[in-house]
Amino acid sequence: MGEDRFIAAYWEFRESVDLEKTAGLPDLNHLVWCLLAGMPNVPADEEDKPEAPLRAIDQRVAILKAVFVEVNSEKDDGFLDRALNLYDEAARLAKLILKEATTENNFGADEGP
């Protein structure tokens, strides 16, 4: 069931992308923003578990990387490797931000006002 929802999320995003256009390397700040803002929508967004936001980032990155490679399939491997590394770095940074925000929100949670 979860795999079907992931594939549906992939296709929903892929169909929103103009496959006739190629793009340069993705912007790291924009990628982090997209991952944190919830773009594209993924199945983990609907989960009510503490680890769901981190799973959502992994799902988003998987979809974004797959579509990026498809759109830029004519580019050389070095270009694709640099781009995929940017997606990985964006995921790392987005997770770090989420973890810091979670830690800050839980700091003193047991204490009264």
Model pLDDT for residues 13-44, shown as the tens digit of each residue: 999 988 787 778 999 999 999 999 999 999 99
Alpha-carbon distance 72 to 87, whole Å? 14
Say if 113 falls within a structural domain. no
Say if 66 falls within a structural domain. yes
Location of structure tokens 């979809």: 63
Say if 7 falls within a structural domain. yes
Nearest CA to 41 out of 92, 6, 77, 79 is that of: 6
Nearest CA to 63 out of 8, 6, 10 is that of: 10
Lowest mean pLDDT among 56-60, 82-86, 98-102: 98-102
Q: Which domain does 39 fall in, by range?
A: 2-102
Say if 24 falls within a structural domain. yes
Alpha-carbon distance 108 to 113, whole Å? 9
Say if 110 falls within a structural domain. no
The DSSP 8-state label assigned to residue 40 in this structure reads S
Say if 111 falls within a structural domain. no
Say if 37 falls within a structural domain. yes
Each residue's pLDDT tens digit, 46-67: 999 999 999 999 999 999 999 9
Q: How many domains does the chain have?
A: 1
Q: What is the pLDDT of residue 106?
A: 66
Lowest mean pLDDT among 10-14, 56-60, 93-97, 98-102: 98-102
